[in-house]
Amino acid sequence: MSALRSILDRLGPHFSPEGRWARYAPLYEMVDTIFYTPAIATSSAPHVRDAVDMKRSMATVIIALLPVLLFGIFNTGYLAGPERGVVWQIQTGLGAVLPLVLVSYIVGGVWELLFAVIRRHEINEGFLVTGLLLPLTLPPDIPLWMVAAGISFGVVIGKEVTGGTGYNIFNPALVARAFIFFAYPSEMSGDAVWSLADEMTRATPLAVASSLQGADGVHLIEQAGYSLQQLFIGMVPGSVGGTSKAAILLGALVLLVTRIANWRIMAGGLLGLVLAAAGANLMAPSFDNPVLYLTPLHHLLTGGFAFGLVFMATDPVSASQTDRGRWIYGMMIGALVVMIRVLNQAFVEGVMLAILLGNAFAAMIDYMVLRQNIAKRQRAYAKQ
Amino acid sequence: MGVITIRKGHDLALAGVPEKRLENLSRPLEVDLFPSDFRGLKPRMLVREGDRVEAGSPVFFDKRFPDVMFTAPASGMITSVIRGERRVLERITIDVDHRERFREFTRHNMDWIASLGPSVIRDELLSSGLWPVIRQRPFSVIADPGKPPKAVFVPAMPTAPFAPDILLQLEGREEEFAAGLRALARMTGTPVHVVIHADNRSPLFSGLGSVELHRFRGPHPAGNVGIHIHHIAPIRHREDRVWYVLPQDVARIGGLFLSGRLPVEKVIAVGGEPLRERHYLKVRHGVRLQDILKGNVPEGPARIISGDVLAGTGRAPGDPLGFYDEVVSVIPEKQERDFMGWLLPGFRKYSVTRLFPSGYRGMKSASLTTSMNGSRRVMIPFGNIESVLPMDILPTWLIKMILARDIDEMEKLGIYECDPEDFALCSFVDASKMEISEIIREGLEYIEKNG
């Protein structure tokens, strides 16, 4: 290992501000700190620092995403040939999902690098998460060039134009997905896109629930052969990472136990979903809309809500950043998901839009919380 | 009286905790005065090289408040006055006499103190050089003798890493401590708030008639005076002054009135992994760190800090102990680069977060070095910062407003209640390795000049 160290040490001076490759310093910093913990020492108080850093934090998110990714690979293969053996299914799944992930990482990574060099900032580990999140929200069958176009849009417009990581208003992976969704709707909706093999096509549970006016959405799902247990395990059509609530639950546990994701957002999201769905259930008998019948549990187990809430709504940058704000933000997303699903039956999946709307309001929610804090302080002062 | 319980914070389990074993450090041959120990001071010399001083006689004063004298902690000859760039006074060295002479002040007995006039007490503190032990918030500067405070705080429950035990600090000085509190209460005519730990049952604090006793409980920074002020008498605005004095300095004030001499010693704790001897020492004010560490040289490369690791200042061995510091911490200066460190499980990594296995087992003695443990990144609000700040302050926004130099918003968000030391743990836990304490310091300096 010391050989690598000595190579890096020999190259290092060229990337220093006086070196001939000074422009590419972010690249060197990236490679150098991937292999070795940085040599920086504290220069002022506090003289000691916690072992946590951005790499560790983001690596934890990747670990939380692994169950979802692995299950997604299996499920993609399984849906393509339920009768074939597990080995074939995994091979097929890998063959479909890995290219998505690689294209997302490589194309997005090039943009990230380009902006880091031009704008002279470090390469941010947050991209590792964005680059993995996008493929997990896509149908497995999507053409690779669309992934490339999507991640480019997400990284450049969703993140870099507003100042890069930490300054983005919207979750870049969601921006990328929204771009693909609106630019190439035929590849992102309908029943055919969710399976690799066309003859295996099956409608997603959410599409089933909204398929017949005047019916009960819960019945429709049951008739289509989707039991709650199946929905929980996730061997059903859907986006690569979004189907298995069991895998998502594992990821959620990792995020919550490590406190990387804020539990208030998740709790708020669930609460908002339950309240809105209960409200919808009350209204169901008076309308023809089948989605109104869906119980909170059905809402939770179908579609991408669980995935979005756990991995995308909790993005600390684009979410609200105050504790009280996080509750409001989460509840808003939970309620919006139900509302969009009910009102917009053409594109019954509402999570993406709900979270993007939540992102848009996050800053305003924080502003309100901030003013409250200020007003409270002033009242406390007046009393003294 | 109720107990105020602090939940947010963290007690740093730093290896090399000082044993509770008090030893006397022999009289140093030389002592130094460091005007930079005092924030915002504009010193003007009163003596020259070659002059002789007694313990307690003035050496320099503050141009802004000419009454505030800074006096010699030992009798002897001024051997050098060192000035730096633009003739800024950097260091004054006194060669200590074998037989010391003390400047004599008026002696009082305990009962007289309560009947002394406030201005008598004030003048005695000013001329003896004890006035600078009284600091004021906002800004943590030496108290302005012309502007009375709304309250005086004595934080008597140190929670900083290695901070000396409060009872050992005051052992044998109980009467002086009581006298000092009495003098402070008499001088200011405002409530004197003494804050002790909820479990502190020492009779030392039970019979103090003239003060308001508060009890706090919780992890560091529960013992910081800024936290006490925040919970008891928050600072409303710039002119809303609170004074604070460390317990040992209260005892020095009492000692001055009772003995008629300037008390020149304090109890400090010396600790850290690279040291063999980790103990309490009774030392002279102005003593050099190398004298404190005599025969106890750190093993391997190490950083010597005057103060605790969270808020102290790194100093050279030849520099003196800081005027307000009661701890000398030594930590390894290690810059080993771990291969793929971010990917390893990290069983021995020290972290407040739950991102390392060590975070779940409770860290007993993880070794912390001067390593930054990561590289600087943009601010990502994971919530680490908030989890160690027990104040109703929104740190993320305050930091942003400071960086934007928006005075109006800084004031609204409560910057006058803040002090860098209360944010030290925020810097410690931040995943993006921002210098949050330094940012708070910058904000306070900016608002002090331009506000």
Pick the more confident residue, B162 or B378. B162
The answer to whether B331 contacts chain A (CB < 8 Å) is: yes
Nearest to A1 among B14, B339, B438 (CB): B339
Predicted pLDDT at B341: 67
- Domain ranges (residues) in chain A: 2-35, 55-188, 202-372
Answer yes or no: is pLDDT of A198 > 70: no
CATH architecture of B30-96: Beta Barrel (2.40)
Mean pLDDT computed over every residue of chain B: 90
DSSP code, position A160: G
pLDDT tens digits for range A18-48:
878 777 777 777 777 777 777 788 888 899 9
**Residue B45, CA distances (Å) to A107, A215, B32, B52 in order:** 66, 92, 14, 14
| Residue B263 banded pLDDT, cuts 50, 70, 90 | very high
Are B380 and A48 inside 8 Å of each other by CB?
A: no
Q: What is the mean pLDDT of residues A285-306?
A: 88
Query: Is-cis flag, bond preceding B138, omega within 30?
Result: yes
Q: Within a 10 A sphere around the Cβ of B234, how many other Cβ atoms?
A: 18
CA distance linking residue B132 with residue B324, whole number of Å: 10
The answer to whether B377 contacts chain A (CB < 8 Å) is: yes
**Residue A338, CA distances (Å) to A181, A220, A325, A362, B9 in order:** 19, 17, 20, 19, 39
CA A166 to chain B, closest CA, distance in angstroms equals 6
- What 3-state DSSP class applies to B60? strand
The answer to whether B236 contacts chain A (CB < 8 Å) is: yes
Compare all CA atoms of chain A with the CA of B375 and give the residue at the minimum distance.
A38
| Residue A285 banded pLDDT, cuts 50, 70, 90 | confident
Which percentage of chain A shows pLDDT scores above 90?
47
Are A59 and B373 inside 8 Å of each other by CB?
A: no
pLDDT tens digits for range A235-261:
888 889 988 999 999 999 999 999 999
Q: Which of A61-75, B201-215, B248-262 has the lowest mean pLDDT?
A: B201-215
pLDDT tens digits for range B140-193:
999 999 999 999 999 999 999 999 999 999 999 999 999 999 999 999 989 899
CA distance linking residue B39 with residue A68, whole number of Å: 55
Q: Residue B421's closest CA among B286, B352, B324?
A: B324
Nearest to B342 among A55, A124, A262 (CB): A55
Answer yes or no: is pLDDT of B405 > 90: yes
- Domain ranges (residues) in chain B: 3-12+105-259, 30-96, 377-450
CA A141 to chain B, closest CA, distance in angstroms equals 32
Pick the more confident residue, A163 or A199. A163
Q: Within a 10 A sphere around the Cβ of B289, how many other Cβ atoms?
A: 21
DSSP-assigned states of every residue in A107-143: HHHHHHHHHHHHHT-PPPTHHHHHHHHHHHTS-TT--
CA distance linking residue B280 with residue B297, whole number of Å: 16
ipTM attached to this prediction: 0.88
Give A-chain residues touching B339 at CB under 8 angstroms: 1, 35-36
Predicted pLDDT at B389: 94
Compare all CA atoms of chain A with the CA of B352 and give the residue at the minimum distance.
A50
- What 3-state DSSP class applies to B273? coil
Are A5 and B352 inside 8 Å of each other by CB?
A: no
Give A-chain residues touching B373 at CB under 8 angstroms: 37, 49-53
Look up the pTM and report it.
0.90
Q: Residue B448's closest CA among B407, B412, B414?
A: B407
The answer to whether B200 contacts chain A (CB < 8 Å) is: no
Are B382 and A59 inside 8 Å of each other by CB?
A: no
Pick the more confident residue, A35 or B443. B443
Answer yes or no: is pLDDT of A346 > 90: no
Give B-chain residues touching A48 at CB under 8 angstroms: 12, 14, 309-310, 331, 368-370, 428
CA distance linking residue A275 with residue A313, whole number of Å: 18
Q: Residue B70's closest CA among B36, B104, B96, B118?
A: B36
| Residue A197 banded pLDDT, cuts 50, 70, 90 | low
Compare all CA atoms of chain B with the CA of A124 and give the residue at the minimum distance.
B377
Predicted pLDDT at B313: 93
CA A329 to chain B, closest CA, distance in angstroms equals 15
CA distance linking residue A9 with residue B266, whole number of Å: 47
The answer to whether B1 contacts chain A (CB < 8 Å) is: no
Pick the more confident residue, B67 or A2. B67
Are A36 and B335 inside 8 Å of each other by CB?
A: no
The answer to whether B324 contacts chain A (CB < 8 Å) is: no
Predicted pLDDT at A27: 78
Are A50 and B383 inside 8 Å of each other by CB?
A: no
B192 CB contacts (<8 Å, ≥6 apart)? B151, B152, B153, B154, B181, B184, B185, B210, B211, B212
Compare all CA atoms of chain B with the CA of A382 and give the residue at the minimum distance.
B236
The answer to whether B311 contacts chain A (CB < 8 Å) is: yes
Are A259 and B376 inside 8 Å of each other by CB?
A: no
The answer to whether B445 contacts chain A (CB < 8 Å) is: no
DSSP-assigned states of every residue in A217-258: HHHHHHHTT--HHHHHHT-SSSSTTTS-HHHHHHHHHHHHHT
Give A-chain residues touching B429 at CB under 8 angstroms: 50, 52
Helix locations, B71-214, DSSP H: 110-113, 118-128, 166-170, 174-188
Predicted pLDDT at A347: 67
Number of CB pairs, chain A paired with chain B, less than 8 A apart = 200
Predicted pLDDT at A220: 85
CA B76 to chain A, closest CA, distance in angstroms equals 34
Q: What is the mean pLDDT of residues B48-70?
A: 93
Give B-chain residues touching A316 at CB under 8 angstroms: 380-383
CA distance linking residue B283 with residue B287, whole number of Å: 7
pLDDT tens digits for range B349-371:
888 888 887 766 666 556 788 88
Give A-chain residues touching B433 at CB under 8 angstroms: 49, 53
| Residue B209 banded pLDDT, cuts 50, 70, 90 | confident
